[in-house]
Amino acid sequence: MNRTTLSLIAGVAALAAVTGFATLDAPDTSGADTARAAAQLPVERTGLVCPAPSTSDLAETAYTSFTPVTKGAAAKGSAQLTAATEESADAAGTTDGKADGKTDSKTDGKSGGKSKAKGGKSAAKPVLAPKAPGTPATGSTSGGTTPAYLGTAEGSYASGWTVQETTEVAAGTGRGLLGVNCTAPDTEFWFPGASTAADRTDYVHLTNPDDSAAVVDIELYGPDGSLQTTVGEGITVPPHASDPILLSTLTAEKQDAVTVHVNVRSGRVGAAVQALDDKLGGDWLAPAGDPAGTLVIPGIPKDAASVRLVAFAPGDADADLKVRLAASSGLITPAGHETLHVKGGMSASVDLGDVTRGEAGSLVLTPTDGAVPVVAAVRVVRGKGEDQESAFIPATAAVGTRASVADNRAKAATLSLTAPTGTAQVKVTSSAGSEGGATASQTYTVKAGTTQDVVPPAPQGLKGTYAITVEHVSGAPVYAARTLLSTDKDTPGFTIQTLPYDRGTVSVPKADENLDVLQR
């Protein structure tokens, strides 16, 4: 048997191992549609990265992990969240997923905690380890030296796995409630709505989960185009490490509406922007959805005191967008802000004021003529005087088949649902609590062109925090966001997270072994 034949056999064997019980079929030459034979199977491995939460000594950070129960998922698995340090590479595989799910490990934030791995090596101790799919697991840290964390879920824990990092800061720049969903590593991110103004302290956090260094370029775009940067190119992020970069150190220009583009030359990173304001508190600006001609920004609170929209067109072509608000009564056009012109390669912003006027609302941006891809986000301010706080909502993808959000607290969470193009039905399920309780579900109908705020169904006998899962039942695409209020009376604040499709399943074609290909 020659070397070529051996290589082909090895390739077929490797492919069969990757796809599990799926095998390869010979092409159907009958002309029938073979796409119908593909099966949607749960993913078997998911990776997430959580940025370092705060530099404030007053910071109290909670981590909440949740995996929805998925039909067809593996019977066993594991998940863990460990510090993004050199030690975390040694910790891989040390957790078997048998923790009691009530982890509330207090660490000093200096190393994420350490434990002895096999062979006597020092390994990072997981900040949390889930008990089972369907039940949240929690962990916490204190202080301003908590590191970034790397997360890995396998087998039964992987499909739809989500982790939220929620930080309460009692005083100082960026005080209030800061929340972010830990992100999957990728090679490109857009952040419209950042700032280099004097009253803002914005950091872009880059976290590398891999064993080799990543090389990253950071580009900044203001109202007049690209900002001149000094050290934004060729930034090296070491393996299993995180690098927070202050935006104002990249450019001397002071701009209030900046779009940040993170482009990874080699490797992968997770990225998020921490926006801290001297007077308006702070929050995380999550990556915007991919550039598109039509965008939806869901979940603007009904009591928003002001809303500022920032949009950016990555290419050379200008974009003209129709601006509409999907309110509880239907689609309306904000007076005086009917359209927004976005020049190619430039950030455009507009202050919409109290655009929701006491109603639940979501922004819908559509092209007035030809579609030009854009990215967008809004900054929302709530409260009055010294109690004002801010949060960010990026344009996002639809819920799709299913989406989840963790860290919901009794009487502190509101779910916003919008269906811009047609009537739809969704099923909302509140999980069991992290410390006890039973699930509860309810189905909602969202009328075409409207936004509906709902209080999630309360889990029976709730103890601890719970997760919300939204499943699309029928009708048009649905977009969703969750507003979480601070439960600390001395720390007024809020944070908003969107619920894009969790990509918990993947299409796998039906396949059979066919060694005839080796004889051709």
Domain match, 255 and 315 both? no
Task: Return phi, psi of residue 5, to 5°.
Answer: -65, -45
Confidence of residue 488 (pLDDT cuts 50, 70, 90): confident
| In-domain check, residue 267 | yes
Which residues partner with 375 through β-bridges? 312
- Edge-to-edge order in the sheet of strand 389-394: 347-353, 306-312, 375-382, 389-394
The pLDDT, as a whole number, for residue 480 is: 98
Domain match, 217 and 317 both? no
Answer whether 474's CB lies under 8 Å from 379's CB. no
The pLDDT, as a whole number, for residue 520 is: 59
Give the tens place of pLDDT for each residue, 60-91.
999 999 999 999 999 999 999 999 984 433 33
Give the tens place of pLDDT for each residue, 205-227.
999 999 999 999 999 999 999 99
Domain match, 208 and 343 both? no
Write the CB contacts of 333 (distance below 8 Å, at least 6 apart in sequence): 322, 323, 324, 325
Answer whether 190's CB lies under 8 Å from 312's CB. yes
The pLDDT, as a whole number, for residue 215 is: 98
Domain match, 127 and 220 both? yes
Domain match, 18 and 114 both? no
Domain match, 494 and 512 both? no
Per-residue tokens: 266: 């080699």
- Using CA atoms, how far apart are residues 393 and 404, in angstroms rounded to an integer? 16
Write the CB contacts of 292 (distance below 8 Å, at least 6 apart in sequence): 373, 374, 395
Amino acid at position 470, single letter: V
The pLDDT, as a whole number, for residue 519 is: 65
Task: Supply the mean pLDDT for the chain.
Answer: 87
Evaluated on CA atoms 110, 116, 121, 127, the torsion sign reads: negative
User: Would strands 137-142 and 106-107 be described as parallel, antiparallel, or unpaired?
Assistant: parallel
Domain match, 372 and 479 both? yes
Per-residue tokens: 243: 């690098």
Write the CB contacts of 10 (distance below 8 Å, at least 6 apart in sequence): none
Lowest-pLDDT range of 4-13, 262-271, 348-357, 369-378:
4-13
Res 1 pLDDT > 60:
no
The pLDDT, as a whole number, for residue 35 is: 47
Evaluated on CA atoms 345, 351, 352, 358, the torsion sign reads: positive
Res 369 pLDDT > 60:
yes
Per-residue tokens: 100: 């009691």
Answer whether 166's CB lies under 8 Å from 487's CB. no
Query: Tell me, what DSSP letter sits at residue 34?
Result: G
Res 99 pLDDT > 90:
no
Domain match, 381 and 393 both? yes
Domain boundary among 237, 254, 285: 285
Smallest CA-to-CA distance from 348 within 377, 307, 390, 306 is with 377
Domain boundary among 285, 315, 337: 285
Kindly report the length of the chain: 520
Write the CA distances from 240 to 150, 224, 231, 263, 323, integer angstroms. 8, 37, 22, 19, 42
Answer whether 206's CB lies under 8 Å from 196's CB. no
Give the tens place of pLDDT for each residue, 402-451.
999 999 999 999 999 999 999 999 999 999 999 999 999 999 999 999 99
Domain match, 263 and 166 both? yes
CATH for 278: 2.60.290.11
| In-domain check, residue 96 | yes
Give the tens place of pLDDT for each residue, 292-319.
999 999 999 999 999 999 999 999 999 9
| In-domain check, residue 334 | yes
- Using CA atoms, how far apart are residues 318 and 205, in angstroms rounded to an integer? 30
Mean pLDDT of 144-160: 96
The pLDDT, as a whole number, for residue 49 is: 97
Smallest CA-to-CA distance from 444 within 468, 414, 467, 474 is with 474
The pLDDT, as a whole number, for residue 491 is: 65
Evaluated on CA atoms 8, 13, 19, 22, the torsion sign reads: positive
Res 93 pLDDT > 80:
no
Answer whether 85's CB lies under 8 Å from 147's CB. yes
| In-domain check, residue 365 | yes
Domain match, 83 and 133 both? yes
Per-residue tokens: 364: 């819908």
Per-residue tokens: 349: 């912003």
Q: What is the percentage of the chain residues whose pLDDT exceeds 70?
A: 83
Domain match, 310 and 279 both? no
Res 108 pLDDT > 80:
no
DSSP string, 227-294: PP-SS-SSEEE-TTEEEEEEGGGT-S---SSEEEEEEEEES-BEEEEEEEESSS-EEEEPPPPPPBSS
The pLDDT, as a whole number, for residue 517 is: 61
Smallest CA-to-CA distance from 424 within 443, 404, 445 is with 445
Per-residue tokens: 412: 């502190």
Smallest CA-to-CA distance from 88 within 116, 62, 125 is with 125
Question: Could you tell me the residue range of the domain that residue 28 belongs to?
Answer: 3-41+507-519
User: Would strands 176-181 and 162-169 be described as parallel, antiparallel, or unpaired?
Assistant: antiparallel
Domain match, 135 and 116 both? yes
Write the CA distances from 101 to 64, 105, 447, integer angstroms. 10, 11, 38
- Using CA atoms, how far apart are residues 186 and 208, in angstroms rounded to an integer? 10
Res 393 pLDDT > 70:
yes
Write the CA distances from 61 to 66, 132, 152, integer angstroms. 17, 23, 20
| In-domain check, residue 46 | no
In the chain, the number of structural domains is 3
